Chain A
Amino acid sequence: MKDILQLFCAYAKTGLKSRFQYKLDAIAAIFAVFFREASGIIVMYLALLKFDSINNWNINELLFLFSLIFITYGIFIVFFMALRDFSDWIKHGDFDRVMLRPRGLLTQLVLCGADWLAAFGHGTLGILLFILSANNVGITWNAVTITYYIITIAGGVLIQGAIFLFFSAVSFYFIETQSLKEILYWNVRKFAGYPISIYNKLIQSILIFVVPFAFVNYFPAQFFLRKEDMAAYPQWCMYITPLVGVVLYVLAYAFWRYSLRHYKSTGN
């Protein structure tokens, strides 16, 4: 365990150093990521100036809902960048290098890949939204809610990790998985911040069963906010985020192990 922690710190140090080699450029990139993601929030804010609420969710509740997406992504990307870009690792033969080292394959991938710029960009936005909204939505913070919040965040990170572990496994069969990720993750994430109850059955099913973002933000937020649109879903959905995370991750890991056998180096 100590060994793994040391490895992570060493990777983090070199990662940060290389990312901040050109300081001004790095800061500009962090700001760009922050602003790109914030633009969706700004648009929502402007829209609510005209319409007041969306399905009875007011602006503060929506900001709280969105903050969960960004905070979990900010943490997720510290650990899972290598899985996000895994098809490049295969394409360039970098994965062969990982196989030659005396540590578990996935351990290395998780520890070494941190996109610090995205982490700061998304993380700052998530924390900012949390600060802006957390005290205005009637949450009483006590030991129970704080514990629930932390475990839920961990679960949300794990869910997204599992999704990308699954994509990585697919990369063993089809090297190029860009369009798949584009449509199943990036595009879905763009609208996963809104309460899922506003969508039609098709999109709701995608968000609950296919790419379960509903467990990253909507159901956990319902635990705190108890909006009436929760009546359409079973109450226990609010409590199973960590379970969904662990189960999905184990399944994705099994699929990954299985697919690993099909790995053929692209060579050079």
Chain B
Amino acid sequence: MLTYLQFSVIKFRNNMAYRFEYLMGILNTLLNFLVYWCIYKALYAGAAEVDGITFSMVATNFIISLGLTNAFSKNEMFLHDKIKQGTIANELLKPVNFRMRMMFEDMGDGFFKVVFNFLPAVIISLLFTQLQPPAGVLNLILCLISTVLGYLVLWNISFIIQTWSFWLFSVWGIVTVKNAVINILSGALLPLWFMPQPVLDFIKFTPFDSIFFTPVQLYLGQLNGADILFNFARQIIWIVILYFIGDIFWKRGLKKLVVQGG
């Protein structure tokens, strides 16, 4: 475990070198937030609440899910590039589990973005808008745990798609489509409170709402008692299912892998 944590630490330090990039990252997050804030301000058109959802709940949903989207974004062509360039051969020779190493590197990246990108953006956005405070200390803790689980759901989906580079000429198109689907169905762009019922019924059978929406609901205190357990269970079950699907593709892919030259 400590070995893998080192990968995270190195990634974190790498990021520290690009100060300009992270300044731009904060600016981008803020701009995105401001835009959604304006769009929903116009949609609300002065109404105090729509379907029992107040404007500040919507704003809170956006700052959390936009911040996490930003923090969770990673190089999804990583495995693709390693396979196409053949450098995966050297990677596989190293005495570490390749998947674990990949995940911990991404987590190092993600943690960096949470600390230096997401948190500053939250603090600055407090200057011009009202965000809901967490419903309670316990809610904040549950939200943090659920955020980590949400990250694992997202990471495992991404890994499955990435393993397809063993078979496909390029996975860029599929990665792009996948991200668009997640953007629509996870509630990152349209809070799931406002989704039409048929779409919600469909989302229930997918892992997408457990990425951002479960943490948001926990933060706002919209879930209690059995619902909290149920949502955590859903996140964990999806992680397990997605992990094993990824495992099948990964092992099959490795068997098929031919690296030419050296």
Interface residues of A (CB under 8 A from B): 22, 24-25, 28-29, 31-33, 35-36, 38-40, 42-43, 46-47, 49-51, 54-55, 179, 182-183, 187, 190-191, 194, 198-200, 202-203
B196 touches A39 (CB 8 A): no
B167 within 8 A of A: no
Given the interface contacts A22-B169, A46-B199, does A39 sit within 8 Å of B42 by beta carbon?
Answer: no
B180 touches A39 (CB 8 A): yes
CA gap between A54 and B41 in the complex, in Å:
9
Given the interface contacts A47-B43, A50-B50, A54-B42, does A32 sit within 8 Å of B172 by beta carbon?
Answer: yes
CA gap between A54 and B21 in the complex, in Å:
34
Interface residues of B (CB under 8 A from A): 20-21, 24, 27-28, 31-32, 34-35, 38-39, 41-45, 50-51, 169-170, 172-174, 176-177, 179-181, 183-184, 189-190, 194-196, 199
A183 touches B31 (CB 8 A): yes
Given the interface contacts A36-B180, A43-B184, A49-B196, does A200 sit within 8 Å of B172 by beta carbon?
Answer: no
A28 touches B173 (CB 8 A): yes
A200 touches B183 (CB 8 A): no
Given the interface contacts A29-B172, A182-B24, does A55 sit within 8 Å of B184 by beta carbon?
Answer: no
Pull 6 A–B residue pairs with CB atoms less than 8 Å apart, ordered by A.
Answer: A36-B177, A50-B50, A55-B42, A191-B35, A198-B38, A200-B38
- Quote the shortest CB–CB distance from A58 to chain B (angstroms): 13
Q: Which of B20, B31, B42 has the most CB of A within 10 A?
A: B42
- Quote the shortest CB–CB distance from B57 to chain A (angstroms): 15
B184 touches A25 (CB 8 A): no
CA gap between A36 and B172 in the complex, in Å:
12
Residue of chain B at shortest CB distance from A48: B43
CA gap between A261 and B42 in the complex, in Å:
48
- Quote the shortest CB–CB distance from A117 to chain B (angstroms): 10
A203 touches B35 (CB 8 A): yes
**B residues in contact with A179, CB < 8 Å:** 20-21, 24
- Quote the shortest CB–CB distance from A121 to chain B (angstroms): 10
Residue of chain A at shortest CB distance from B188: A43
B196 touches A46 (CB 8 A): yes
- Quote the shortest CB–CB distance from A44 to chain B (angstroms): 8
- Quote the shortest CB–CB distance from A118 to chain B (angstroms): 12
B41 touches A35 (CB 8 A): no
**A residues in contact with B172, CB < 8 Å:** 29, 32
- Quote the shortest CB–CB distance from A249 to chain B (angstroms): 26
CA gap between A39 and B21 in the complex, in Å:
27
CA gap between A171 and B179 in the complex, in Å:
30
B170 touches A36 (CB 8 A): no
B177 touches A182 (CB 8 A): no
- Quote the shortest CB–CB distance from A215 to chain B (angstroms): 19
CA gap between A187 and B51 in the complex, in Å:
31
Pick from B24, B173, B184: contact of A42, CB under 8 Å: B184
Given the interface contacts A187-B32, A199-B35, does A54 sit within 8 Å of B43 by beta carbon?
Answer: yes
CA gap between A22 and B172 in the complex, in Å:
14
A25 touches B180 (CB 8 A): no
**B residues in contact with A33, CB < 8 Å:** 176
**B residues in contact with A202, CB < 8 Å:** 34
Residue of chain A at shortest CB distance from B193: A50
- Quote the shortest CB–CB distance from B255 to chain A (angstroms): 24
Residue of chain A at shortest CB distance from B195: A46
B174 touches A28 (CB 8 A): yes
A51 touches B43 (CB 8 A): yes
Residue of chain B at shortest CB distance from A46: B190
Q: Which of B20, B24, B176 has the most CB of A within 10 A?
A: B176
**B residues in contact with A51, CB < 8 Å:** 43-44, 50, 194
- Quote the shortest CB–CB distance from B36 to chain A (angstroms): 8
CA gap between A31 and B27 in the complex, in Å:
30
B38 touches A54 (CB 8 A): no
B39 touches A35 (CB 8 A): no
CA gap between A71 and B41 in the complex, in Å:
28
**B residues in contact with A28, CB < 8 Å:** 173-174
**A residues in contact with B20, CB < 8 Å:** 179
Q: Which of A38, A51, A55, A203 has the most CB of B within 10 A?
A: A51
- Quote the shortest CB–CB distance from B163 to chain A (angstroms): 17
A47 touches B184 (CB 8 A): no
- Quote the shortest CB–CB distance from B222 to chain A (angstroms): 18
**A residues in contact with B184, CB < 8 Å:** 39, 42-43, 46
**A residues in contact with B45, CB < 8 Å:** 55
A203 touches B176 (CB 8 A): no
CA gap between A202 and B33 in the complex, in Å:
14
Residue of chain A at shortest CB distance from B194: A50
- Quote the shortest CB–CB distance from A22 to chain B (angstroms): 6
Pick from A22, A36, A183, A191: contact of B176, CB under 8 Å: A36
